[in-house]
Structure 1
Amino acid sequence: MPSLLWPPDQIAAVRSAVFPPERGGYVRDDVERQLDRIALTMERGGPLPDLAGTAIRRVPLASGLAVDSVDGFLRQVYLWQQDLLHREPEASVRTPEGGAGRSARVRWTPAQQDWVRDSRFAIRTGKRAYVEHEVDDFLDKVLVAMARGDDLPDIDTVLFYPPRRTGRGYDALQVDAFLDQLARLRPLHDHVDRADI
C-alpha cells in the first residue's frame, strides 16, 4: 500500500506544537493524545484520520487550550496532507519492496497474540473512559489479523466514545497507552510472499 513521505519538519512541528491557554478551551490531554497519534501516523507514512471529525472535549469552566489555535493548527496539518497527495506520485509516495502486485503476509508470534489477548484495563466512569464493547471489538479485530498473518487494523484512526453519563467503561488513559504500544509492535517476519507459505 502506498505511504506518504511526510517531511521531518512537519512531523517535528506536530511533536512540538504549543497552544495558548483559554477559559473553556479544549482538554489538554485530548489535544496531546490526538497530536501524538497524528505524529505517529506521519512517522509511519500513513494518511491522517478525518481531523474534522475528531472528538476533542472542552473544559466547561476551567482553563484549557485555545480552540481557534488548535483548530487552525489541525487545518494546517490537513493542508499539508492535501499538498502531499496532489504532488507527483513518485515525489510523494513510496511503494513496498516487491512491487504493487506482491501479496504480503506477516507473522505475529504467540507471545504477541497472548499480550493482546491478556490485556486488561481498569474500570472507571465519566468522560475519561471508553465504552467497553468498542475497545473489545477492536481488540478482536487485532487478534483476527494476527491469526491470519495480516497487517493490524489502523490503530491511528480508531475512535472510542465515552459511556453514557452513568455508565462505566475502560480507563481511557490505559487504553491509549496500550494502543501506543500496539502501534509500535512489529511482526517476526514482514513481507513474505503468500505463495511461499
Structure 2
Amino acid sequence: MSWSPEQIAVVESARFASVAAGGYHADDVERLRVRALTAMRKAKPLPDLDAMALRRTPRGGVSRTQVAGFLTLMSVWSATTVVEHPDEVARRERDAEIAALTTRDDDTTLRWTHEQMDLVREKKFTLVGRASTSYDEHDVDDYLDSVVIAMRRGVELPDPQYARFDSAGLRRGYDPKEVDDFLDEIAHMQPEG
C-alpha cells in the first residue's frame, strides 16, 4: 500500500489563508508542502514534519491554525499509511515470480537464494581500454544471464569452466581478471538445502 491519489491531491491543492499578523512565513509552509508532496509522489514516507522549522512573522503570513490542521492530518496519515519503497515492491514481485518458476512437485529442484541471484544479476566489472586485453561485454553478460535463469528454474548452473568469451578487440571490454575471479566464485556457489 502507498499514498492514495486522494491523499496526494489534498497535499497538491493545500492552500492557506493569509493573515494580517502573527502567521507563519508562506515560503516555509510552501517548502514543507512541496517536500511532503515530493515524498508522496515517490511513494516514500513523509519527512519529519516536526523537524521542519516554520518561522512566525509579525506581519502577514499564513494562518497558523490552518497549518496546524494540515500538520495534524499529515501526522495521522504518516502513522496510519503503510508506505513501501518501490524497490521493496519490485523485490517482492520478483520473489513471487521466482517462486512460481522454481516450484515443482518433485524434490529435484535446487533452491538458490535471492541473495545469490542478486549477486550474479547485479555484478559489475571494470571496463578496460582498447589497448588492453578484455572480454566482450555482451558475451559475459549473456553468460551471467544464463546463470540467473538456471537459478530461477532451480537447476544446475552452467559450468563456468566451459564459459568462453571473445576478446573485445579494439573496443572497451570487461577486465578479464575480475571476470575470471567471479567465475571462480560462481563455481563454488551451492544451493541452499
Q: TM-score, normalised by structure 2?
A: 0.44
Q: TM-score, normalised by structure 1?
A: 0.43
User: Larger C-alpha radius of gyration, 1 or 2?
Assistant: 2
More strand by share: 1
More helix by share: 2
